[in-house]
Amino acid sequence: MSALQEVRAAAVAGMFYPRDAVELSRELQVLLKGASQVQALPGLIKALIVPHAGYVYSGPVAASAYAHLFPLHNIIRRVVLLGPTHRVFVSGLALPGVQAFDTPLGRIPVDQEAVHFLKPLSQVSTSPAAHELEHSLEVQLPFLQTVLSDFQVVPLAVGDATPEAVAEVIELLWGGTETLIVVSSDLSHYHRYELARKVDALTCDSITELQRLDSHEQACGATPVNGLLHAARHHRLTPHLLDLRNSGDTAGDRDRVVGYGAFAFTEERRHGI
């Protein structure tokens, strides 16, 4: 791999979120401050589901989840980040084959030890092309850089895979309180406002009941979501719906909206933590 390929450059800065670091930091602070009055959740946060549209559309919903991580900023050291592919077909799950990801806020190292653990799994491959222009993972990184102090990321582009195959990857990297699982997914796409609200409410019911989603019409990231739900059932995590809106609520018209939901999954609080 050449030196130019060792770092995955920001691909959607200036489109999904500001390219300028000062402007980006200011926007994130506004979004997170808007979600700062969050109620504490019972137990320790182990996983999140967050949307991945442009910040003007889904940023307030994503912030409702990320605001919960401020108390964990010195605890979380590794983020396993899974999101659907939008441009390149992937069989299974794909690592980026790079040492780090860049955003306007700086460089995030890829956890090479975790990458080594995943290499023996048949469902995991390496595809720089799958990551090169993919936004579903990238838009989460500035949020994580804002709410966490020092962390590494395990970025996985999820394509054609079973929930069990995704869950196996999550299980292998489960770790302890130092590891956070983040699944990137929007909900329904391009329904009229009222229909979208009904469809997304049913999807949220499935997620909060830890029931597998039936279709990518419910969530574009249904595959990684289902993998997380599989693992959440095994570990007896408790899901919490934090926010549910759509682009008709945040920005844009109500004729063809995209749904956004934010969820946290907590585990039983351990003694002394």
The reported pTM is 0.95
Provide the domain count of the chain. 1
Domain containing residue 59: CATH number: 3.40.830.10
In a domain, 272, yes or no: no
pLDDT of residue 273: 42
Residue 2 pLDDT class (50, 70, 90 cuts): very low
Mean pLDDT across the chain, nearest whole number?
95
The answer to whether residue 273 sits within a structural domain is: no
Range of the structural domain that residue 228 is part of: 3-267
Q: For residue 50, is it within any domain?
A: yes
**Residue 14 lies inside a defined structural domain of this protein:** yes
pLDDT tens track for 177-233: 999 999 999 999 999 999 999 999 999 999 999 999 999 999 999 999 999 999 999
Quote the pLDDT of residue 269: 63
Question: Helix/strand/coil (H, E, C) string of the chain?
Answer: CCHHHCEECCCCECCCECCCHHHHHHHHHHHHHHCCCCCCCCCEEEEEEECCCCHHHHHHHHHHHHHHHHHHCCCCCEEEEEEECCCCCCECEEECCCCEEEECCEEEEECHHHHHHHCCCCCEEECHHHHHCCHHHHCCHHHHHHHCCCCEEEEEEECECCHHHHHHHHHHCCCCCCEEEEEECCCCEEECHHHHHHHHHHHHHHHHCCCCCCCCCCCCCHHHHHHHHHHHHHHCCEEEEEEEEEHHHHCCCCCCEEEEEEEEEEECCCCCC
